[in-house]
């Protein structure tokens, strides 16, 4: 029995694949877009606790998206060789969109982290008291800058 005989026709797996392509992956992508919008908003408004929470949730969404893409790829391994071209045409656009969205999020995440570091350093500089030298002369304190 050859390896291709153990595999199934695309028609048999198509409902599961279509579910991933039309429902699961687009849902993950939309959720990721919402996280990105929230990250940008919380960063602008300097709501650090919400920003941190949003980064965590967005990271989970990226993991879910990658997991769902792996599931599609597992289904692809079960399809007969003569159906692979059609299958590839079905899933490649979704995989490319997911890949682009993930890369875009990771870039936003990197920029956000850099911006947070910059803002933290700027705020820390503003909060530091200036270096002064005090001298007590006759009960009066004189400050020298």
- Write the pLDDT tens digit of every residue in 42-61: 989 989 899 989 999 999 99
Percent of the chain, pLDDT > 70? Answer: 79
Is position 88 within any domain?
yes
9: pLDDT strictly greater than 80: yes
36: pLDDT strictly greater than 90: yes
| 111 neighbors 122 (Cβ within 8 angstroms) | no
Is position 137 within any domain?
no
Is position 3 within any domain?
no
Is position 143 within any domain?
no
Is position 4 within any domain?
no
Is position 132 within any domain?
no
In tens, the pLDDT along 102-137 reads 999 888 888 877 877 777 777 666 666 555 544 555
- 8 DSSP β-pair partners: 79
The domain in which residue 97 lies consists of: 10-125
Is position 95 within any domain?
yes
- Report CA-CA distances (Å) from 123 to 48, 114, 120, 128: 13, 14, 5, 9
**Domain total of the chain:** 1
Average pLDDT over residues 24-41: 95
Read off the CATH number of the domain in which 22 is found: 1.20.58
Q: CA angle 20-39-41, nearest 5°?
A: 125
Is position 113 within any domain?
yes
Positive or negative, the CA dihedral 103, 108, 111, 112 is: negative
**What is residue 79's three-state secondary structure?**
strand
């Amino acid at each position: 029995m050859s390896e291709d005989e153990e595999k199934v026709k695309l028609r048999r797996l198509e409902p599961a694949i279509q579910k991933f392509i039309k429902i699961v992956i687009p849902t993950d992508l939309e959720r990721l877009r919402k996280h990105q919008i929230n990250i940008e908003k919380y960063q602008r408004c300097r709501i650090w606790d919400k920003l941190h929470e949003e980064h965590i949730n967005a990271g989970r969404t990226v993991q879910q998206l990658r997991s769902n893409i792996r599931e599609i790829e597992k289904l692809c391994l079960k399809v007969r060789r003569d159906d692979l071209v059609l299958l590839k045409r079905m899933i490649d656009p979704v995989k490319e969109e997911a890949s682009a969205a993930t890369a875009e999020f990771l870039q936003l995440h990197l920029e956000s982290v850099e911006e947070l570091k910059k803002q933290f350093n700027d705020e820390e500089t503003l909060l530091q008291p200036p270096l002064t030298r005090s001298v007590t002369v006759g009960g009066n304190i004189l400050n020298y800058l």
